[in-house]
Amino acid sequence: MTNKIVMAEVRMNREIAPGVYHLQMLVEKETAAAARPGQFLNVYPEAGSRLILPRPFGICSADPDAGTLEIVYEVVGRGTEILSAAGEGTLLKIAAPLGRGFDTESLKSLRTNDARPPVLIGGGVGCGPMLFLARTLQREQVPVTAVLGFRDRPFLIREFREAGCTLLTASETEQEGIFSGNVIDCMTAAGLSAPAYFACGPRGMLAAVDAYVSADCGDEFLQVSLEERMGCGYGVCVGCSTRIREYGENGQPQTVRRKICTDGPVFRGNEVIWDDGTR
Judge whether residue 227 has pLDDT over 90.
no
- Cα–Cα distance, 123 to 183 (Å, whole number): 8
Across 216-225, average pLDDT: 97
Which residues 6+ apart lie within 8 Å of 125 measured at CB? 20, 58, 72, 73, 74
pLDDT category at 88 given cuts 50, 70, 90 is very high
Rounded CA separation 255/266 (Å): 17
> What residues contact 65, with CB distance under 8 A and at least 6 apart?
29
Cβ neighbors of 250 (< 8 A, separation 6 or more) are none
Is the pLDDT reported for residue 279 higher than 80?
A: no
| Residues across the chain | 279
DSSP, collapsed to helix, strand or coil, labels residue 194 as coil
Cβ distance 261 to 230 under 8 Å? yes
Q: What is the mean pLDDT of residues 176-182?
A: 94
Sequence-distant (≥ 6) Cβ neighbours of residue 244 within 8 angstroms: 255, 256, 257, 258, 263, 267, 271, 272, 273
Query: Mind listing the domains of the chain with CATH numbers?
Result: 4-98 (2.40.30.10), 105-227 (3.40.50.80), 230-269 (no CATH)
Question: For 202-212, what is the mean pLDDT?
Answer: 97
Amino acid identity, position 130? M
The Cβ of residue 10 has, within 10 Å, a number of other Cβ atoms equal to: 17
pTM of the model as a whole: 0.93
pLDDT, tens only, 118-175: 999 999 999 999 999 999 999 999 999 999 999 999 999 999 999 999 999 999 999 8
pLDDT in tens, 113-131: 899 999 999 999 999 999 9
pLDDT at 278 over 50: no
3-state SS, residue 199? strand
Per-residue pLDDT for 182 more than 80?
Answer: yes
